[in-house]
Amino acid sequence: MGPVIGNLSFMTCYLLYLPIMVLSRIWSAFILIALAVALGRFIFQPEQQQIFTQMVTGKSGDTTYVKEVDAASLPAGLAEQMASGQTVKWEGLQLAASGDGKLKVFSLQATNGVFDTTKDAVTLCIGLIGIMALFLGFMNIAEQAGGVRFLSRIIGPFFSKIFPEVPKNHPAMGHMVMNFSANLLGLDNAATPFGIKSMESLQELNPDKTRATNAQIMFLCLHASGLTLIPTVIIADRVALKSQFPTEIFIPCMIATFVATITAMTIVSVRQGIRVFQPVIIAWVMGITAVFTALILYVRTLDIKGVQLFSTSLSNGLILLIFLLIVAGAIYKKAPVFDAFIDGAKGGFETAVKIIPYLVGLLVAISLLRNSGAFDFVMDGIKALFAFAGGDARIVDALPTAILKPFSGSGARAMMIDTLKAHGPDSFTGNLASVFRGSADTTFYIIAVYFGAVGIKNTRYAVGAMLLADLAGIITAITVSYLFFR
């Protein structure tokens, strides 16, 4: 019995420790794979002799000569641009005419090297200080005036079912409502401080301060699913690229993010033993679906300028309305408005500084992975697999945006723009890439910032649940794109 008990004890300890190792192993794998790929390219590809320098001190957009290619091998859209004498960027490469139907190909560095990436991480956190101080200040006014408790009572019947461990009318309920609302309207600047405040509120209920609670996992998975009403930024990029139908991706993006959100809620509910088919949950989900349907019907009646005006007015108007209601409520309750704002705003600086180590570690690993060429090898493998299976090549051309989005929002934007330039903004591939960008969120950034803000080291199954929700969004994006654009 002794050896059996010993083995069981070992396995029990291993299984308990496994969730803690998940994020650590992913981070370590990114670095080890990047270094292995870079070493292989340095040894076997003569044109990659500068790869180590690029990975450490290089800057985004730096060029390195690779080879010459035949202009006839380019997609039609790129060939037309080259014929007009333009220098064209395509799939991480820069093309320049060299005469006789030949093109010089230069590789473009995907992102900054390690040194500049550390500066980027700190700059990003410093940039968060002001916006976090603003919204956390107003949030503190709302708490002292009773506004957060009021929101908690309104959303309580629904949230008490999917967050059963959070006490009734706890402030975390109101904080999460504010975060989901900001996320829904595409207000990233507001969503981040509201989300961090939600995690801090939930952390107060956490008996083990380094291990994510069920409520924190549910909240973060729903947040990372990226449910958005109108993808304003994507539409703006399509307008800039001269799309004739820039708002055409609005409904597919909404459907894809909605499916990703429902998938996230279902996966986490199953893991936590929550019954999804409760009358209250079904009623709220159907109500949200009805709101989405009504919005779709209304937006379809607007032209491009009308959509942009409606989106920006709704988003920015809601922020001002929130400020008005918070201040008016505080005055009515005779709360010390400015003092409350200052007390809350002080937390913006502390929180932004706290997440710097987590963001530096994550962004450096992603920088190494992208600049080593490992990401390109993965994409080439996926393309070869699709070709072998007889898959639609148009999907393959749009996939880099979907694969990159969980790692980097700016990288996914650049990839989408490259795809739209190469294949046309209104082509099936261009539309699909746009929907891919809007169908998920920056999963690994969210994990680093939100868990890092409260010192969570054991993320349990959060990473897997988020990536599965991202996968559901990708599959849905492909499906609805065939329905809308084929």
Helix (H, G, I), strand (E, B) or coil at 166: coil
The answer to whether residue 51 sits within a structural domain is no
What global pTM score does this model have? 0.76
Helix (H, G, I), strand (E, B) or coil at 77: helix
Any idea what DSSP says for residue 211? B
What per-residue confidence (pLDDT) applies to 12? 37
Please indicate, yes or no, whether residues 330 and 213 belong to a single structural domain of this protein: yes
Q: CB within 8 A of 476, min separation 6: which ones?
A: 255, 256, 259, 260, 439
Share the mean pLDDT of the chain.
82
Whether residue 281 contacts residue 470, with contact meaning beta carbons closer than 8 Å, is answered with no
Please indicate, yes or no, whether residues 91 and 224 belong to a single structural domain of this protein: no
- Please state the rounded mean pLDDT for residues 336-345: 90
Please indicate, yes or no, whether residues 290 and 393 belong to a single structural domain of this protein: yes
Q: What is the DSSP string of 121-140?
A: HHHHHHHHHHHHHHHHHHHH
What per-residue confidence (pLDDT) applies to 32? 94
Give the tens place of pLDDT for each residue, 432-485: 999 999 887 888 888 888 998 898 988 889 989 999 999 999 999 999 898 888
The answer to whether residue 97 sits within a structural domain is yes
Neighbouring CB atoms inside 10 A of 80's CB total 12
Closest CA relative to residue 150, chosen from 183, 126, 186, 177 = 177
Q: What is the DSSP string of 393-434?
A: HHHHHHHHHHHHTTT-HHHHHHHHHHHHHHH-TTSHHHHHHH
Rounded to 5 degrees, φ, ψ at 231 are -80, 75
Partners of 63 in beta bridges: 108
pLDDT band with cut points at 50, 70 and 90 for residue 9 = very low
From 92, 108, 124, give the residue that closes a domain. Answer: 108
Residue 206 has pLDDT above 90, yes or no: yes
Q: Measure the CA–CA gap between 370 and 384, rounded to whole angstroms.
A: 20
What per-residue confidence (pLDDT) applies to 381? 84
What per-residue confidence (pLDDT) applies to 135? 83
Q: Measure the CA–CA gap between 423 and 418, rounded to whole angstroms.
A: 9
CA-to-CA separations, 19 to 15, 25, 211, 460, 463, in angstroms, rounded:
8, 10, 9, 4, 10
Give the tens place of pLDDT for each residue, 271-326: 999 998 899 989 988 988 888 788 778 877 887 778 777 777 776 787 788 889 98
Q: Which residue has the higher pLDDT, 141 or 12?
A: 141
Please indicate, yes or no, whether residues 137 and 280 belong to a single structural domain of this protein: yes
Q: Measure the CA–CA gap between 14 and 178, rounded to whole angstroms.
A: 38
Q: Measure the CA–CA gap between 32 and 34, rounded to whole angstroms.
A: 5
Q: Which residue has the higher pLDDT, 16 or 109?
A: 109
From 93, 108, 123, give the residue that closes a domain. Answer: 108
The answer to whether residue 37 sits within a structural domain is no
What per-residue confidence (pLDDT) applies to 10? 40
Written as one letter, the residue type at 165 is E
Rounded to 5 degrees, φ, ψ at 337 are -60, -60
pLDDT band with cut points at 50, 70 and 90 for residue 11 = very low
Please indicate, yes or no, whether residues 190 and 320 belong to a single structural domain of this protein: yes
What per-residue confidence (pLDDT) applies to 219? 94
Please indicate, yes or no, whether residues 204 and 292 belong to a single structural domain of this protein: yes
Six-digit token pair at 461? 């199954």
Find the farthest-apart pair of alpha carbons in the chain and give their distance in angstroms, rounded. 80
Please indicate, yes or no, whether residues 94 and 126 belong to a single structural domain of this protein: no
Residue 20 has pLDDT above 50, yes or no: no
What per-residue confidence (pLDDT) applies to 99? 64
Please indicate, yes or no, whether residues 308 and 262 belong to a single structural domain of this protein: yes
Residue 411 has pLDDT above 80, yes or no: no
Full domain range(s) for residue 93: 63-108
Please indicate, yes or no, whether residues 343 and 432 belong to a single structural domain of this protein: yes
The answer to whether residue 19 sits within a structural domain is no
- Please state the rounded mean pLDDT for residues 34-39: 94
pLDDT band with cut points at 50, 70 and 90 for residue 91 = low
Please indicate, yes or no, whether residues 435 and 387 belong to a single structural domain of this protein: yes
- Please state the rounded mean pLDDT for residues 86-97: 65
Instruction: Specify the pairing of strand 88-90 against strand 93-99.
Output: antiparallel
Whether residue 136 contacts residue 345, with contact meaning beta carbons closer than 8 Å, is answered with yes
The answer to whether residue 305 sits within a structural domain is yes
- Please state the rounded mean pLDDT for residues 57-68: 77
Give the tens place of pLDDT for each residue, 231-250: 877 887 888 888 888 878 88
Please indicate, yes or no, whether residues 180 and 246 belong to a single structural domain of this protein: yes
CA 242 to chain centre: 26
The answer to whether residue 409 sits within a structural domain is yes
The answer to whether residue 40 sits within a structural domain is no
Six-digit token pair at 434? 């746009």
Q: Which residue has the higher pLDDT, 3 or 457?
A: 457
The answer to whether residue 34 sits within a structural domain is no
Q: Measure the CA–CA gap between 418 and 411, rounded to whole angstroms.
A: 11
Domain count along the chain: 2
Q: Measure the CA–CA gap between 262 and 279, rounded to whole angstroms.
A: 16
Residue 254 has pLDDT above 80, yes or no: yes
Tell me the percentage of the chain whose pLDDT exceeds 70.
86
From 46, 77, 108, give the residue that closes a domain. Answer: 108
Please indicate, yes or no, whether residues 96 and 183 belong to a single structural domain of this protein: no
